[in-house]
Amino acid sequence: MNVTFINPFLQSLLNVVSTMANMQLTPGKPRLKTDNLAKGDVSGLIGMVGPQTKGSLSITFEQGLILEIMQNMLGENPGNINEEVTDLVGEITNMVTGGAKNLLSDKGYEFEMATPVVVSGIGHKISHQAQGKKIIMPFVAPKGSAYIEICFEDQ
């Protein structure tokens, strides 16, 4: 995993949440994921396929944080993770991955994005299966945390 791959995803989530929900997330230090212990309540997942590599991305939110983002964006808070929330997580996943794709394309790394899938379930765990290092990037906000995980096949 090239470190070049990390910042575009991190920056892209900060941009999307700042622009759409007028919220500033505080990024923690990216680290190698050595277990499956990052748990969350709703996750967007997307596959990426390029000529140099392929891999997967997930963005996992704790319920309190995604409901606050929804409140800020749409002025409504359903109080739990309903279909509007899962659709929003799908959109955020697309936007974050698309933003990172553009930044990486400028550096010569190209990939195509599959379509996102959203998983909801309190305290679910995610295990990326690509044969490569798994990077986890934590983000914190007063109402809860979010995590981006990316994993690309080693070449």
Residues that bind a second copy (CB under 8 A): 36, 43-49, 54-56, 58, 83, 86-87, 90, 93-94, 112-131, 151, 153
CB of 12 or CB of 120, closer to a second copy: 120
Main-chain phi, psi angles of 23, to 5 degrees: -125, 145
Q: What letter would DSSP give residue 51? A: S
CB of 37 or CB of 142, closer to a second copy: 37
Helix (H) or strand (E) holding 134: strand 134-141
Query: Residue 13 Cβ, how far from a second copy at the closest point, in Å?
Result: 17
Select from 139, 130, 61 the least CA-distant residue to 93.
Answer: 61
In whole angstroms, give the CA distance from residue 121 to residue 126: 11
Query: Residue 39 Cβ, how far from a second copy at the closest point, in Å?
Result: 8
Query: Residue 55 Cβ, how far from a second copy at the closest point, in Å?
Result: 6
CB of 68 or CB of 134, closer to a second copy: 134
CB of 22 or CB of 105, closer to a second copy: 105
- 24: Cβ–Cβ under 8 A, 6 or more apart, which residues? 14, 17, 18, 141
Tokens representing residue 118 in the block: 């959203």
Query: Residue 146 Cβ, how far from a second copy at the closest point, in Å?
Result: 16
